Chains A and B, each alone.
Chain A
Amino acid sequence: MTSRAIALAVVVGIARLAAQQATFSSKLEAIRVDALVTDRGGVIRGLQPADFEVRDNGVVQTVDLVSFQQIPLNVILALDTSASVSGERLDDLQKASRALLGRLTNDDKAALLTFSHIVMLRQRLTPNLALVRSSLDEVRPVGETSLVDGAHAATLLAGDDGGRNLLIVFSDGLDTTSWLAPERVLDSARRADIVVYAASSRDAEESRFLDDLGKLTGGGLIKIASTKDLSATFLRILDEFRNRYLLSYSPAGVAKDGWHRLDVRLKNRRANIRARAGYQAGS
């Protein structure tokens, strides 16, 4: 089988798994775990299913699928466009977003959601990146900040087409107008098949929600000193995400519902692995 055929088979397989995951039911579905594997800052490549040990609530699982880089991305941009993001900050944000869109491939999709106090879906997931760029140009900063509301709405944009869902959230504002409670949105994020990276210029206390969201989904929070750093930050996030493994396994020997704690490690070598902390099965 050629490498192209392998990639296609993986995509089809993941699409099937994702479709199963879209509606939780009493049966246990295949679980996807997006994992970044590094050693001394460098990505470890060439790993196979047998190299991974995945524990689901402490029970070792059989990893039956590992993919690396081949699967198209669904990149969702959730950008703070409150009044505090005006002038150069907005220019920097638009520039960073365009830079990121420029690095996507023809197979990738992107979506754009902005939030001030208003959550505004400007472009659903589309392979037509020109539409996203065009929507980006129309953004005007106004109002207050509903970060938690915006983050929640953005997680709903995750595709169920088998692509790997990456949500990038940028905010430099304190949440002042969200209705949703952070802890409940975090709880929902556990259920979503999405990795969240956030970029924020707020201090540690005020970025706690984004930090928690990143950790919970296997992504992370990147603190930036200035929006001038945003382009480099967005590209770094994309590079890192492309270099992640997508593992899948069919849970065995574990409860059919509730919170499942995940522990991912390599069997025969030490490495730093960043993956989602767990998943919520059933409802």
Chain B
Amino acid sequence: MRNARNVSIAIAALAVATAAFDAGVQLHAQNTPSAPEKLSRLDRLEKWVAAVNTHEAGTADEAALEINQWSTADLRSVWMDVVSLTSLVREPTVSVFFPPPEPELRLTTTGWVTVTPSSSSRSTAISYSGRDVARLRALAAPLGSPYDGRENALLKRGAMLHADIAMLAPADTRFAVKPGAGSKRYKLHIDDGRPTGIDTEANHWDMGRRLLERVRYRDRRGGAARGPAVDDTVRLWYIATCAHLISVGDLDPAHFVRATELFPKSPDVLFLRAVLHETMASSRRQSAMRKADVPAGVTFAMGSRGDELLLAERFYERALEIAPGFEEARIRYARVLGQRLHHEEAVRELEKVAGVQGRLLQYYSALFLGGELEALGKDDDAVRAYERAAGLSPTAQSPRLALSRLAAGRDRRSAREALLTLAEQEPQGDARDDEWWVYDISAGRAADVALDALHKAIESEGR
């Protein structure tokens, strides 16, 4: 498990400005003396297709490292051309290509949602030359006939490539633009509850999402084509990447919002969305956000502590409605209920998972039960719960702190000794680890397993 001390905590935001990618173009031209090789539009698309076809899922290989240096403008250009390419595969006779509508995260009366402008708002056609169109057709040819599915494989492999860049490629070589310049991904870095800086970078997560939005399956009954929501690899992509983002403390609301929009019945997706909001409610992030010097035009999709807790509660409830046996969701749901001062409900939920398997979840369950019983004034029961937690995690200080506090009014000497003997131990290695410290990120601990499953699914798509 990753330790709290080594985790980079960040909150990502989308710029509200709709011309974010365009602004990036200008900055790229002005501020990148060591810009990578200048490529023509179709050269870049060909390079991207080649990179996707050679990329090994789960690695930061040469292909990933090269594309890691591309600018937001480069990525936008490739995205539009990939859309043109897939259009050509699905409608081989098409000869005019329009820029696809760009999805945005917007705050509405029902919360944050992904909004994609309608087709009518499209602007002028993309000005491909006759030679460009011929090159597009040449690239489309190996992708087979309409709805063979090979263009979908290209899109999914592309999304995997960009996810691997975001997860594995070195951030310091990633193309970045200065705050305020309109980059699509602003990242607020936090240390110990303080904002330590905002930076921007080419948004490979957004690129991955945009590619997957183009996944289409023909409806065999002649209806409208079905989109990415019916694709299990896309679902796996969202689960694995959301879990990864949770595990490294990189909270990107747009990613989680789109995941739940596409897969509103997936308990895993709902769970991870709930974790996002629960984490957003934490004091370290709330405080950092209050103090952050956010550039004009940038909105972080983060509500107040109360709002975030309420959202967490709702998404945990939805996950549990679909999967009542989802014990980790229930434990976390109970924790959120307790944070919202619904202590009796929290106790009832925790009692339902009394037989939970796995030491970590048993520890959280016992610790939280102790806290809720303590809040209800049921000190004797709280002591029993905390003693169980202490037994499950012998080096953890949290249950011992609680036990010492509960005993302080009765037998200060023994309470003091139990805690202080532990506190005197040098924190070497795992000797003083307390899983409470990594509660926020522990929900993403299955990220590696999910990513392995995703890699297998991607490989099975073929090249």
Instruction: Please give the residue numbers on chain A whose beta carbons come within 8 Å of chain B beta carbons, in ascending order.
Output: 22-24, 82-84, 113, 117-121, 124, 142-145, 149, 152-153, 156-157, 160, 173-177, 179-181, 184-185, 188, 191-192, 206, 280, 283
The answer to whether A180 and B401 have CB atoms under 8 Å apart is yes
Query: Looking at the complex, which of B213-221, B279-287, B308-316 is the stretch in contact with chain A?
Result: B279-287
| C-alpha spacing A235/B416, complex, angstroms | 28
Q: In chain B, residues 403-456, which have Cβ atoms closer than 8 Å to a Cβ of chain A?
A: 404-405, 408-413, 415-416, 419-420, 423-424, 427, 432, 434, 436-437
A157-B420, A179-B402, A180-B405 in contact; A117/B4 too (CB < 8 A)? yes
Is the pair A179, B436 in contact by a Cβ cutoff of 8 Å? yes
Could you give, for residues 75-110 of chain B, a 1 whenever the CB lies within 8 Å of some chain A CB and a 0 otherwise? Answer: 000000000000000000000000000000000000
Question: Could you show 23 A-B contacts with beta carbons less than 8 Å apart?
Answer: A22-B413, A24-B410, A83-B192, A84-B191, A84-B194, A117-B5, A118-B432, A120-B427, A124-B420, A142-B5, A144-B5, A144-B284, A144-B437, A153-B423, A160-B412, A160-B413, A174-B192, A175-B193, A176-B192, A179-B371, A180-B402, A192-B408, A280-B409
Interface pair A174/B410, CB less than 8 Å apart: no
Q: Which of B42-69 contact A (CB under 8 A)?
A: none
B residues near A120, Cβ cutoff 8 Å: 423-424, 427
Please pick, from B405, B412, B413, the residue contacting A152 in the complex, using a CB distance under 8 A: B405
Q: In the complex, A181→B374 CA distance in Å?
A: 10
CA distance A145 to B4 in the complex (A): 11
> Inside 8 A of B371's CB, which chain A residues have their CB?
179, 181
**Measured CA separation A106–B434 after assembly (Å):** 39
Asked if A83 contacts B191 (CB within 8 A), the reply is yes
Q: Within the complex, what minimum Cβ distance (angstroms) separates B416 from chain A?
A: 4
Asked if B145 is at the interface (CB within 8 A of a chain A CB), the reply is: no
In the complex, which of the residues A22, A175, A177, A181 contacts B375, with contact meaning CB atoms closer than 8 Å? Answer: A181
Known: A118-B432, A143-B4, A188-B405. A174 touches B423 (CB 8 A): no
Please count how many residues in chain B sit with their CB below 8 Å of the partner chain's CB atoms: 38
Nearest chain A residue, comparing its CB with the CB of B405: A188
Q: How far is the CA of A83 from the CA of B194 in the complex (A)?
A: 11
Q: Which residues of A contact B269 (CB under 8 A)?
A: none
Contacts of B397 in A (CB 8 A): 118-119, 149, 179
Most chain A C-beta atoms within 10 Å of own C-beta, residue among B408, B415, B427: B408
Residues of A close to B416: CB separation below 8 A: 156-157
How many angstroms between the C-alpha atoms of A119 and B282 in the bound complex? 20
A23: chain B residues at CB < 8 Å are 410-412
- Check B191–A188 contact: CB distance below 8 A: no
Mark out the residues of chain B between 1 and 29 whose CB falls within 8 Å of any chain A CB in the assembled complex: 4-5
The reply to whether the CB of B367 lies closer than 8 angstroms to some CB of chain A is yes
Complex CA distance for A175 and B4, rounded to whole angstroms: 14
Residues of B within 8 A of A191 (CB): 408-409
| B283: A residues at CB distance < 8 A | 174-176
| Bound Cα distance from A199 to B66, whole angstroms | 51
Query: B398 contacts the other chain (Cβ, under 8 Å)?
Result: yes
**Complex alpha-carbon distance, A283 and B377, angstroms:** 12
In the bound complex, do residue A119 and residue B423 qualify as a contact, i.e. CB atoms below 8 Å apart?
yes
Q: Which residues of B contact A118 (CB under 8 A)?
A: 397, 427, 432
What's the minimum C-beta distance from A215 to chain B, rounded to whole angstroms? 19
> Per-residue CB proximity of B373-408 to A under 8 Å, as 1/0?
011000000000000000000000111011011001
Is the pair B408, A174 in contact by a Cβ cutoff of 8 Å? no
Determine the distance from Cα of A145 to Cα of B282 in the docked complex, in whole angstroms.
13
Q: Which 6 A-B pairs have the closest CB atoms?
A: A174-B193, A179-B398, A121-B423, A176-B284, A283-B409, A156-B416
Q: State the Cβ distance, A160 to closest chain B Cβ, in Å.
A: 8
Give Cα A197 to B415, complex, Å: 23
A184–B367 CA distance with the chains assembled, in angstroms = 16
Question: Of B4, B284, B405, which is within 8 A of A174 by CB?
Answer: B284
Q: A118–B193 Cα gap in the complex (Å)? A: 16
Q: Which of A82, A153, A184, A280 contacts B419 (CB 8 A)?
A: A153
Partner of B408, one of A84, A149, A173, A188: A188
A22: B residues at CB distance < 8 A: 412-413
| Beta-carbon contact of B408 and A156 below 8 Å | yes
Give the chain A neighbours of B191 by CB distance below 8 A.
83-84
Q: Which residue of B lies closest to A145 (CB)?
A: B192
Q: Contact between A152 and B409 (Cβ–Cβ < 8 Å)?
A: no
Of the listed residues B371, B412, B419, B420, the one surrounded by the most CB atoms of chain A closer than 10 A to its CB is B412
Which residues from A are CB-within-8-Å of B409?
Answer: 24, 188, 191, 280, 283
Measured between beta carbons, the chain B residues less than 8 angstroms from A176 are 192-193, 282-284, 287
CA distance A84 to B371 in the complex (A): 28
Q: Residues of A contacting B415 with CB < 8 Å?
A: 156
Contacts of A181 in B (CB 8 A): 371, 374-375
Q: Which of A24, A82, A143, A156 interacts with B404 by CB under 8 Å?
A: A156
The reply to whether A113 and B423 contact each other, CB–CB distance below 8 Å, is: yes
Q: Is the CB of B413 within 8 A of A121?
A: no
Chain B residues with CB under 8 Å of A113's CB are 423
Task: Evaluate contact between B437 and A283: CB separation under 8 angstroms.
Answer: no
* Complex-state Cα separation, A242 to B324, whole angstroms: 61
Beta-carbon contact of B367 and A179 below 8 Å: yes
**Shortest Cβ distance from A238 into chain B, in angstroms?**
24
